[in-house]
Chains A and B, each alone.
Chain A
Amino acid sequence: MYDDLFKTIGNDLLYASFERLVANAAVETTKDLEQQAKQLSESAYANISQSYGSSTDAFISQQLNSLGYKGVDEFETYWLDYLKVQEITKAYYEKDIDKYIASLIKDQQARLVSHILVTMEDSEKPTEDEMKKVKEIETALANGTSFEDVAKKHSADGSAQNGGKLGYVDKNTNFVKEFLDASLKAETGVVTDWVKTEFGWHKILVTSTSAEDMKKDKDLRDSIYSAIETAQPKIRYTIMWEKANELKIEFPDKEIKEKLMKIMEIEE
């Protein structure tokens, strides 16, 4: 029965065990990492408990069980392992960050995007008050006020305080279709016409498609790492496999090695 179960769910658990083994061999557990893991764990717990209430422990345990952890008591351990894997993958990307950013620009239409939003109940039928805001924004832009300043003063979402900056966007970014399509079509430095979405009307500005700009802004790094992983879903396997070999991993059972390589689609 063990073998039957292993056949059904073993792949996920085998890879999870492999990744934990490699991450823990490659990255030392420091006090700083432990502290970060504790914070992530507490923050995630608080978020999950908003939806799951008294079932939070059971929900987290279920999720952790499916990754090979014993349950909620190992929530911090899960985050510690997560941070270690992040450390390995980030170091891998940073070695060739220029190459990755260039590839994102060329193949994924990477760009930096800002917007100004007028929220509306129904973007097809704006109210008088909503149209008044639209006019104020149009006038301010026409009078030469910078996009950033207009966004700060008038935009109706959280990005306003940063001058409307949404940061890194590419063709895989999870935005509503109308907004993403307009962001990808927009010319750099040219404010678009109003774009209607379920949230209201947007003015969009592509502020840069330059690799240099993307590289120098360290706040964009996490978005860029995510974009690399979205564009190359198997890259994590390659990174962990290379790291495992660097650490001289041994597989006394040849079949396990073959099974793992098949899961990761790695060829020697």
Chain B
Amino acid sequence: MKKLLTSLCACLLLVGLSGCSDASADISDGNKVLMKIGNSTVTKEDMYVSLTNYGSITPLINAVTEKIVEKEVPITDDMYDEAKEAIEATKKYFGEKWDEYLKDSLGYDSEEAYINERVIFTVRAERLSKKYIKENYKALDTKYRPMKVQILEAESKEKAEQALKAIKDGATFEDAIKSYGKDTTYKGSIELIHSDSTTPKVVFTTARSMDNGKLSAILEDANTNAYYIVKMIEADSTKFKEDAINSLAQINEIADEAFIHYLTKYDFKIYDVTFYNLLKEQKEEYLVNN
């Protein structure tokens, strides 16, 4: 008999696990025949071997995440609204073929089943990261320094100078960009930036020492030969904390950090060698207790 694969000891009960600190716990009913033709059979153990050979850690991570969100993120009514909103773009894309896509490609009989069995899980997983960010906001704010700014990009120093003059003379960022700037990335609206966003380094570094309402001098990005002007709108991220949390939640490094935090909290251990090797190869940092 194979060992059961993982345990989230202490708090999380695993189906089929005879004791959560017992590394030699067995899969229950391994010899149970699931289907049979003549003398050939497929047993529960055969399926177990296939599951452990699956090759991707994603299903394992999802299964573990489900256990964690059960403990950390209770389902609330507003999650259903968020879930419906989350699938709206996909529904629109498929139009009349949405039901067909739902059934044939996603494998759900109804939208309700898809939301309940899949989308709500995604919403809860996202909220798990946000919960971690809220609880550790001060440290993450210091590290990632979210700010609200306006940015103007120009292709030459001369155009940047003209733009700066126009802004100082009272033009809006939008108008200055239309007249002198390049609007492919920045169109003059208020941007939420942080140290992990794609903002040019010179813009972020300059902005982090600016006060609200202040306008920078002309900044040059030596790597791209582009010129920038930045205006600080709000330097204190506690004034737009919800937006900042939503933005920080998109950072993979933070999502990983959050997941590791909860794996540690629930004493995550891997007993199965196949899954252990897969995690070691693909996500070693998740092996928090091995």
Contacts and interface: CB of A to CB of B under 8 A. Distances in A.
Contacts of B56: 62, 65-66
A233 B104 CA distance: 9
- Give the interface size class of chain A: 35 or more
A21 B17 contact: no
Given A71-B53, A249-B37, A4 B107 contact: no
Given A244-B37, A251-B34, A4 B50 contact: no
B60 A5 contact: yes
B35 A18 contact: yes
Contacts of A2: 4-5, 15-16, 27, 48, 51
Q: Is the interface of B mostly helix, strand, loop or mixed?
A: mixed
Contact of B54 (A22, A25, A65, A252): A65
B66 interface: yes
A13 B42 contact: no
Interface in B42-75: 42, 46-51, 53-56, 59-60, 62-63, 66-67
B36 A6 contact: no
A17 B37 CA distance: 12
Interface residues of B, number: 37
B107 A11 contact: yes
Interface string A70-100: 1100000000000000000000000000000
Contacts of B104: 233
A127 B62 CA distance: 56
Interface in A5-25: 5-6, 8-11, 13-14, 16-18, 21-22, 24-25
Interface string A29-66: 00000000000000000000000000000000110011
14 contacts: A1-B16, A1-B17, A4-B66, A4-B67, A10-B51, A11-B107, A25-B37, A25-B40, A61-B55, A70-B49, A249-B35, A249-B37, A251-B36, A260-B35
